[in-house]
């Protein structure tokens, strides 16, 4: 049977599903959420939380009654297949197909109808390091046979080749035998009239997210993605975004906050903008701030000034030999020479490049000593840290991380200090990415606010990184249970049919506190262009 709800034509939800058809399970009665999302500006914390929690429980209960368990189960089969593909192991993928399954593959003209032939295809296919993204789906099931048809996009990162994306249509046919669902037929073919800029769209969204911590505006997305489709290097796009007034403003703000513990006055910001326009690098701007009277006057003596530089630039106490050498240089050549000598030091360069590894690659450069040293050598040869940041932020390693990410998710928040505890204690379990995530709904309200409904699945005994929300939102728990750890509050556990409110501007982390997958729907309303969340916990090295 196939279930599909009829939505009021006047609701923004109905207009969305008309463009992007999903199953009734995915629709989740979102027209009922239209007037229930948290308004921009947030509510009074206590009253807002109580109202949203009360409302959320009623909506989640309504949603739970609306969900077809069969459809949820079939969607889970796609998640299982996607996860298997991302292991890179053809044995794991082939095991999901029945012995007599038929595969009409995406990147081959040969139909595969034996386990050996299917395995052979996936050996070649998985060598391209594919990451699938579910774009739309429709499910038909009678309990023993199920079909899932829709659209998906693959991002490929082949070794020694440029990243590229392929948009395709698919049908999975499943049969339940001895209690286990297996794929009996899988058809996958590239769209006959694909958007040639789909690869660039992923790359541009990633660059805006990585560098500016926001979703790209429509004109920027169209211009840069089409430029990439026409042959422009993503690194050139990264350079343009990096050197934009918006990013330079973020840099100046961060330097004033880090070095002077305040925001820059308009005249100072204008002066530094002019300096950037005249070809100065970010290192040159930092030298100006670190040798300013304001910074120097924080220290009572020359020795204290040098010790402050050690703490600020190298994150450690000074050593006797270094202190003596810098004191002599300060007396002979002045503070500019001292700061520039810090900036030329391998120790400082390694710290800065490793910061790019963490920010853009989500891993520790210490585990890549050859690569880290190559970048340090490039810096010593005259490359600016700006140039190195542009190259690392546009490296092929970045793109796959953004295939399934909302462009409104901020991957890092350099203006906020790292946070590793909530209410004085680290949350339980290690932070891990969600097992599966997709944006089910994204629409603009009449006042210009963005409305989001994000469906996710989190594995048992894992949690999100500690993060902030600029604007509050509500998490509806559809299956399993989740516990919210929130600064200033006791932990809140919500099971299927319940919800909790995620406040604004406070560190928090959602934890799957159960022993089965937790399925949730996060709903937000926020001004256009603002990010949904800002992680502030260091990303695990592995």
DSSP string, 281-321: -HHHHHHHHHTSHHHHTTSSSHHHHHHHHIIIIISSPPPHH
381: pLDDT confidence band, cut at 50, 70 and 90? very high
Predicted local distance difference test score (pLDDT) of residue 417: 57
- Dist. CA 250–CA 245, nearest whole Å: 9
CA dihedral (328, 338, 357, 199) in degrees, to 10, reads -160
360 belongs to a structural domain: yes
Q: pLDDT higher for 37 or 303? A: 303
135 belongs to a structural domain: yes
Predicted local distance difference test score (pLDDT) of residue 453: 79
3 belongs to a structural domain: no
Q: pLDDT higher for 538 or 274? A: 274
Predicted local distance difference test score (pLDDT) of residue 69: 43
The pTM of the full predicted model, rounded to 2 decimals, is 0.62
For 97-149, what is each residue's pLDDT tens digit?
Answer: 999 999 999 999 999 999 999 999 999 999 999 999 888 888 888 778 899 99
Query: Interior CA angle at 210 toward 204 and 215, to 5°?
Result: 55
Q: What is the CATH number of the domain that holds 136?
A: 3.10.450.50
Average pLDDT, rounded, for the chain: 81
> 135 and 172: one domain?
yes
Candidate ranges 17-21, 294-298, 457-461, 496-500; pick with highest mean pLDDT: 294-298
Predicted local distance difference test score (pLDDT) of residue 448: 67
**C-alpha dist (Å) from residue 350 to 13, 252, 255, 326:** 49, 22, 19, 20
Q: pLDDT higher for 46 or 202? A: 202
Q: Say yes or no to pLDDT of 179 above 90.
A: no
CA dihedral (405, 408, 413, 418) in degrees, to 10, reads -60
> How is residue 113 written in tokens?
């109808």
> 339 and 208: one domain?
yes
What H or E segment, with its residue span, contains residue 26? Answer: helix 24-27
- Dist. CA 307–CA 329, nearest whole Å: 14
Q: pLDDT higher for 500 or 286? A: 286
Q: What is the CATH number of the domain that holds 365?
A: 1.10.3130.20
- Dist. CA 307–CA 313, nearest whole Å: 10
Q: pLDDT higher for 58 or 255? A: 255
Q: Say yes or no to pLDDT of 36 above 90.
A: no
Q: pLDDT higher for 490 or 27? A: 490
> 369 and 458: one domain?
no
> 275 and 132: one domain?
no
> 58 and 112: one domain?
no
- Comparing 156-160, 338-342, 437-441, 483-487, which segment has the lowest mean pLDDT? 437-441
Domain boundary among 190, 216, 241: 190
- Tell me what the mean pLDDT of segment 408-421 comes to: 53
For 428-470, what is each residue's pLDDT tens digit?
Answer: 988 887 766 766 667 666 666 777 778 888 888 889 989 888 7
- Tell me what the mean pLDDT of segment 385-401 comes to: 92
Predicted local distance difference test score (pLDDT) of residue 236: 97
418: pLDDT confidence band, cut at 50, 70 and 90? low
Candidate ranges 237-246, 249-258, 505-514; pick with highest mean pLDDT: 237-246
Helix (H, G, I), strand (E, B) or coil at 91: helix
Q: pLDDT higher for 358 or 19? A: 358
- Tell me what the mean pLDDT of segment 247-256 comes to: 89
Predicted local distance difference test score (pLDDT) of residue 405: 56
Q: Say yes or no to pLDDT of 318 above 90.
A: yes
Pairing of strands 180-190, 97-104: parallel
Predicted local distance difference test score (pLDDT) of residue 431: 83
Q: Say yes or no to pLDDT of 320 above 50.
A: yes
391 belongs to a structural domain: yes
> 283 and 345: one domain?
yes
- Dist. CA 70–CA 72, nearest whole Å: 5
> 263 and 387: one domain?
yes
> 345 and 433: one domain?
no
Q: Say yes or no to pLDDT of 197 above 80.
A: yes
Candidate ranges 67-81, 99-113, 148-162, 195-209; pick with highest mean pLDDT: 99-113
Q: Say yes or no to pLDDT of 527 above 60.
A: yes
What H or E segment, with its residue span, contains residue 369? Answer: helix 369-380
13: pLDDT confidence band, cut at 50, 70 and 90? very low
Domain boundary among 171, 190, 209: 190
> How is residue 198 written in tokens?
């789909």
41: pLDDT confidence band, cut at 50, 70 and 90? very low
336: pLDDT confidence band, cut at 50, 70 and 90? very high
**Residue 123 and residue 91 in contact, taking contact as beta carbons nearer than 8 Å:** no
Q: Quote the domain boundaries for residue 354.
A: 198-402
Predicted local distance difference test score (pLDDT) of residue 441: 66
Count up the domains in the chain and report the number: 3
> 364 and 472: one domain?
no
> 157 and 274: one domain?
no
- Tell me what the mean pLDDT of segment 180-191 comes to: 95
- Comparing 83-97, 262-276, 401-415, 456-470, which segment has the lowest mean pLDDT? 401-415
74 belongs to a structural domain: no
> 149 and 249: one domain?
no
- Tell me what the mean pLDDT of segment 197-221 comes to: 87
1 belongs to a structural domain: no
């Amino acid at each position: 049977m196939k279930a599909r709800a009829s939505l009021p034509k006047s609701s923004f939800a109905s207009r969305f599903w008309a463009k992007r058809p999903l199953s009734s399970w995915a629709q989740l009665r979102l027209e009922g959420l239209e007037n229930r999302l948290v308004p921009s500006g947030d509510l009074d914390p206590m009253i807002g939380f109580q109202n949203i929690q009360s409302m959320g429980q009623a909506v989640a209960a309504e949603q739970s009654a609306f969900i077809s368990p069969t459809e949820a189960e079939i969607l889970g089969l796609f998640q299982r297949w996607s996860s298997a593909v991302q292991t890179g192991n053809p044995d794991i993928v082939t095991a999901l197909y029945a012995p007599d399954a038929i595969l009409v593959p995406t990147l081959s003209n040969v139909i595969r109808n034996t386990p050996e032939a299917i395995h052979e295809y996936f050996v070649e296919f998985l060598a391209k390091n594919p990451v699938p993204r579910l774009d739309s789906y429709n499910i038909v099931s009678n309990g023993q046979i199920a079909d899932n048809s829709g659209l998906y996009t693959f991002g490929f990162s082949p070794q020694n080749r440029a990243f590229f994306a392929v948009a395709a249509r698919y049908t999975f046919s499943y049969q339940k035998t001895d209690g286990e669902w297996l794929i009996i037929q899988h058809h996958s073919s590239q769209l006959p009239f694909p958007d040639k800029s789909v690869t660039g769209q992923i790359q541009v969204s990633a660059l805006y997210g990585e560098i500016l911590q926001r979703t790209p505006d429509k004109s920027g997305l169209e211009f840069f993605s089409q430029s990439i489709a026409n042959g422009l290097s993503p690194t050139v796009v990264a350079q343009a975004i990096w050197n934009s007034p918006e990013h330079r403003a973020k840099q100046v703000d961060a330097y004033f906050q880090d070095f002077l513990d305040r925001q820059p006055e308009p005249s100072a910001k204008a002066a530094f903008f002019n300096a950037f326009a005249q070809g100065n690098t970010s290192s040159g701007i930092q030298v100006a701030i670190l040798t300013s009277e304001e910074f120097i006057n924080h220290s009572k003596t020359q020795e204290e000034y040098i010790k402050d530089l050690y703490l600020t630039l190298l994150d450690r106490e000074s050593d006797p030999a270094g202190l003596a050498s810098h004191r002599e240089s300060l007396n002979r050549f002045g503070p500019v020479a001292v700061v520039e000598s810090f900036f030329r030091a391998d120790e400082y360069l390694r710290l800065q490049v490793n910061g790019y590894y963490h920010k853009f690659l989500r891993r520790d450069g210490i585990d890549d000593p050859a690569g880290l040293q190559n970048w340090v050598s490039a810096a010593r040869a005259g490359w600016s840290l700006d140039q190195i940041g542009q190259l690392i932020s546009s490296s092929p390693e970045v793109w796959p991380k953004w295939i399934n990410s909302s462009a409104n998710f901020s991957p890092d928040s350099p203006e906020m200090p790292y946070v590793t505890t909530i209410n004085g204690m680290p949350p339980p379990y290690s932070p891990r990415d969600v097992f599966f995530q997709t944006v089910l709904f994204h629409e603009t309200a009449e006042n210009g606010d963005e409305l989001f409904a994000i469906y996710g699945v989190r594995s048992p005994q894992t949690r999100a990184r500690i993060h902030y929300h600029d604007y509050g939102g509500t998490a509806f728990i559809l299956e399993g249970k989740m516990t919210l750890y929130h600064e200033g509050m006791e932990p809140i556990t919500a099971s299927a049919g319940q919800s909790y409110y995620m406040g604004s501007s406070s560190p928090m982390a959602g934890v799957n506190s159960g022993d089965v997958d937790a399925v949730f729907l996060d709903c937000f309303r926020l001004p256009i262009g603002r990010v949904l969340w800002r992680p502030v916990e260091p990303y695990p090295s592995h």
